[in-house]
Structure 1
Amino acid sequence: MAPEHEVVVIGAGFAGIGAAIGLRRAGIDDFVLVDEQDGVGGTWHANRYPGVAVDITAFSYSFAFEPVPSWSRVFPPGAELKAYADHCVHKYGLRPHLRLKAKVVRAEYHASEHLWQLSLEDGTSTTARFIICATGWLTRPKAPDIEGLDRFKGDVVHTAAWDPSLDLTGRRVGVIGTGASAVQVIPEIAPRVARLHVYQRTPIWLFPKPDFALPAAVRRLFRTAPWTQRTVRLLTDAVTELSFVIAMVHHRRFPFLVRAGEAMSRLYLRSQVKGDRALRKKLTPAYALGCKRPSFAKSYWRTFTHDNVELITEGIERITETGIRTVDGGERALDVLVLATGFHVLENLPPFPMHGTDGHEIREFWRTERFQAYEGSSVKGFPNLWFIVGPYSFTGGSWFGAIDYQVTHALRVIKEARRRRATEAAIRPEKHDRSFQETLRRQRNTIFASDRCRGSNSYYFDERGDAPAVRPATTYEAARRARRFDLDDYRYDVVG
């Protein structure tokens, strides 16, 4: 049986958009781009909480081949990222390939026909020769497992599913969580609430956010002399690699980079919270920088010095009908509960059952055999399938850098299969295993192998203590390997 499509890309966030653009540029037009949401942009379509913005500079957070000279700020708000996604879809002619409100609930590989069958929530299905799974990480909000949450009688909202009609003015608000979204939303809502109680389990390392409006003259220079914006991108990419990626990946060789980063963060905390050592101690992480994703902020720490803001580090005993009770016996009355508790990350990879050869399910494979993937992209026993982004693929730098090298990997194999007139491309098990063993060996040199990561409560780690959310390599190395890996690491076959 011939498949309905040559390629199906699952997910219309930037990873899926990047894959679709790559297919078009490679001359492959028989593909469909599916997404369960009613618009493109993934995280930037769904997340609309107050203060939502990118947490690395916009110069790095965009496709290298499609820069944006008109960013309003160095760290533009979420609405501009959503607009950028729409722009890319329009400019690169992806609308005819787009199928929204199409939620994949199951994927099954038919080995006898060398094709994938995708079952959708509406009861329909489609088939494809190749699958690019670009469902992302930050798509399935995670509610806290706290007794009584379902009995709270006030308003409850997750930052990833914000209700724009929710008015917080003059109300008593509790925020559970102090991760990346909390860092953005807390300073935004603090000035207009009556009281803000922030419940912290694990503090976060922060650095000054050099965010400012880009002058019209700079935007004009970027438009008329694009090389200037490319130069700025090279610089911001290099800073990210040196300050975060190399510090994490080569921690054993350069431990002083982490120590230096921690010292800088503590100095910043001291400038934001003056004269209150007890508060500074509560806000200072006990784990090493890099064990959990750090962030940038302008006023997050300073917000806790306001009279109407309270930081609570005692554990939550339960949520009552009218507020939150902590383990020390204290109880605070609340009108609104904001869940800034992040996402299911590794458990969401992928967000539906996926069965390969012999019916093996990929999440069950990873549960029993550990998270693993050849070059962070393909998995043995699951032919004609590539992840953007999979286990051990993201280096911790720019998300767009990871998209670029993962798309490069998938397209090289798809084009090679077409050249050979093959209908199946499967990573050879011995090549897959060699890649995984190399990854584990290299991870021993990273910050993630350090005892100082204990207590970080980081989504980087799985239940085994592995850190499959981060690839132990620099972005530059990962990109080079995507361009040069041996195409014969895959086996190519013809159906029948």
Structure 2
Amino acid sequence: MVADTEHAGTGKSEKRIHRTRVLVVGSGFSGLGMAIQLRKAGRSDFVVLEKADEVGGTWRENTYPGCACDVPSHMYSFSFEPNPDWSKVWSGQAEILDYLFDLADKYDLRRYIHFGRRTTGGYWDEAEKRWHVRTDDGTEYVTQFLVSGIGALHVPRFPDLPGLDVFGGVAFHSAQWNHDYDLTGKRVAVIGTGASAVQFVPEIVDRVARLQLFQRTPAWVVPRTNFEHSPRAKRLFRRVPLVRRAFRDFVYWVSEALAIGLNGHSNLMAPLEKLAKKNIAKSIEDPELQRKLTPDYRIGCKRILGSNDYYPALARPNVEVVTDRIERVTEGGVVTADGTERDVDAIIYGTGFHVTDGFDGMNIVGVNGRELVPYWNEHGIETHLGITIEGFPNAFFLLGPNTALGHNSVVFMIEQQIRYVMEAIRLVDDAGAEAISVRRSAQDRSNADIQRKLGKGVWTNGGCVSWYLDAKGVNRTIWPGFTWQYWLRTRKVDPADFDLIGRAAG
């Protein structure tokens, strides 16, 4: 690996400096995919920073009961590294994590990863034309190219409720599941009804004595049977790659069709709403509970969820769905706005993640001392194609703003972004330059086009408030339209959109 470590200063003030050509932050799908393509290009002059002691990102962090992906596994994997042995259509967390472990082993990536190092900030040295990135162990990384692969679903969001600090029981977030705590026979409060809760509630409902589900807004949940791939099917996928590819393509295009309804043709979503309502009626007899669980917004405005056992779990006699606003938490329970206090032994937060503010860990300083996070907080998150940012040369974001999806696999998006970054690096090398920086005009066009299209979509007009929106109500998360359109936009780096910066002095 072409990288060196040097020391500055002496004694307690000694600072470790590590130089490398490409610095990748994160080792989930994005970081590992970037590292694989660097290896395939014959490069060994890169380092991957990982805050934990193992690879995996989201799929390492989330280990709650029932954790699984809601995108079919043959699509939720790299096209260049297919897995013929997925056990089910929608695989669970452990199987996805094993897939990532296998990738790290196959490409011998762990020797490029510096584990246990969390980024604390960094800055662009205009004279040197290099990024300086600091980590919490005191190391400073000096790199030509900086690639953020941190994603968005890694910083748990906790509700802002009075009394959280005085609760005398056990409390934890679904993304930080306490496996040492036995829920058997306990009175459990679950706060939140998003994707995680839909998966773990059915898994714990039979063990707990009482489960109170505190719901602010119901989700649309369509029925979904998770079929197993038979041994015969897996053999066919393994021996006949064309069949495996055809199955992946089928999944892709079926998923892609959903984008029509999400982007300006919400009337086409009515049949899906009808299916979801039938899912409620089939599972729940109580009219009042049906009313509580039926959303009043257009399906797709929030992420569409799939489950055959969520509604039956809520119909159990030991479950109460509470829709009154939580007023405060006490030492022994949860108090709602009507004054009712419900005694609980444990609180599980299924309240999601910091998404639009999930990039705070990458608070880098670009040209002319511009701090990324404060600038975004003031002006809104704006990028060029979710990958590059004006004033931050040689900095790239994988799964950056407005590249998440509500209908297909983000792994597809990651692949396009990695190819784009690799081509940008080649452009710099071929030109004998030191850096590449997106022009403000290109970024403005890109962002204006995205926001114009989002204005027609269900996320804006569907009648809900979702985690897709920032504090000002602007959608900084979703890519509007089809993913093949993103492929078209990113398959080539347009030199007219960028400035190439010459060699550093000396």
Normalised to the residue count of structure 2, the TM-score between the two structures is 0.94
1:153 maps to 2:164: no
Q: Note the residue ranges of structure 1 that are not aligned, 5 or more in a row.
A: none
- 1:162 matched to 2:172: no
Q: Is the 8 A contact 1:172 1:194 kept in 2?
A: yes
Of 81, 90, 101 in structure 2, the residue corresponding to residue 75 of structure 1 is 90
Aligned to 1:135: 150
1:242 is matched with 257
1:58–1:75: 8 Å Cα contact kept in structure 2? yes
Out of 254, 262, 287, the position equivalent to 1:277 is 287
1:394: Cα distance to partner? 2.4
Alignment match, 1:412: 423
Task: Indicate conservation of the 8 Å contact 2:221/2:307, yes or no.
Answer: yes
Residue number among 462, 468, 484 corresponding to 2:476 in the alignment: 468
Q: Which residue of 2 aligns with 1:91?
A: 106
2:274 is aligned, of 260, 263, 281, to 263
Tell me, in whole angstroms, the C-alpha distance in 2 between the residues paired with 1:112 and 1:413.
21
After superposition, the C-alpha distances for 1:254-284 in whole angstroms (9 at most, x for unaligned) are: 23222222122112221222x3221111111
Give the CA deviation at 1:352.
3.6
Spell out, residue by residue over 1:98-119, the C-alpha distance to the aligned partner (whole angstroms, 9 max, x if none): 1111100112111111110010
Shift of 1:204: 0.6
What's the counterpart of residue 335 of structure 1?
345
In 1, the alpha carbon distance for the partners of 2:74 and 2:36 equals 20
> CA deviation digits over 1:102-159, x for unaligned, max 9?
1001121111111100100011111100011010101111111111111111111111
Q: CA deviation at 1:485?
A: 4.2
- Deviations 1:141-188 (CA, angstroms, capped at 9, x unpaired): 111111111111111111111121110111111101100100011000
SS in 1 for 2:291: helix
Greater Cα shift, 340-349 or 208-217 = 208-217
Larger deviation, residues 59-68 vs 480-489:
480-489
> What amino acid maps onto 2:283 in structure 1?
Q
The 5 Å alignment of 1:67-466 reads 67-243=82-258, 245-249=259-263, 251=264, 254-273=265-284, 275-396=285-406, 397-450=408-461, 452-454=462-464, 456=465, 458-466=466-474
Q: Answer with 387-396 or 321-330: which moved more.
A: 387-396
Q: Write the letter of the residue equivalent to 2:410.
A: W
Looking at structure 2, the residues matched to 232 and 278 of structure 1 have their Cα atoms a distance apart, in angstroms, of 42
Q: 2:215 touches 2:321 (CA, 8 Å); kept in 1?
A: yes
Q: Distance in 1 between matches of 2:410 and 2:392?
A: 25
Superposed displacement of residue 449, structure 1: 2.8
C-alpha distance in structure 2 between counterparts of 1:213 and 1:437, whole Å: 43
The percent of aligned pairs where both chains have the same amino acid is 36
2: distance between equivalents of 1:26 and 1:90? 18
Distance 2:131 2:391 in 1: 13
- Are the equivalent residues in 2 in contact too, given 1:143–1:341 (CA < 8 A)? yes
Counterpart residue type for residue 66 of structure 2: G
AA aligned to 1:247 is G
Using the size of structure 1 for normalisation, the TM-score is 0.96
- The farther-off stretch of 182-191 and 23-32 is 23-32
Count residues with an aligned counterpart.
487
Deviation at 1:429, TM superposition (A): 1.4
Report the Cα distance in structure 1 between the residues aligned to 2:296 and 2:124, rounded to whole angstroms: 46
Whether 1:18 aligns to 2:29 is no
Alignment CA distance shift 1:148-1:350 (3 Å): closer
Alignment of 1:470-489 (within 5 A): 470-489=478-497
> Using the alignment, how far apart are the partners of 2:456 and 2:158 within structure 1?
33
Aligned CA distance change for structure 1 residues 150 and 208 (closer, same or farther; 3 Å): same
> Aligned AA for 1:196?
L
How many Å apart are 1:425 and its aligned residue? Answer: 0.4
1:19-72 deviations in Å (ceiling 9; x for gaps)? 111222223321011110111010111111111111111111111111111112
1:376-421: per-residue Cα shift (whole Å, max 9, x none)? 1101011101101111222432010110111121111111111112
- Counterpart for residue 7 of structure 1: 22
Task: Structure 2: state its 5+ residue gaps.
Answer: 5-17
Task: State the alpha-carbon separation in 1 of the partners of residues 430 and 362 from structure 2.
Answer: 32
Hey, what's the Cα distance between the residues in 1 that align with 2:485 and 2:362? 31
SS at match of 2:361: coil
Q: Per the alignment, in what secondary structure is the counterpart of residue 241 of structure 1?
A: helix
Quote the Cα distance in structure 1 between the aligned partners of 2:40 and 2:414.
Answer: 15
| 1:56 equivalent in structure 2 | 71
Contact 1:74 1:210 in 2 (8 A): no
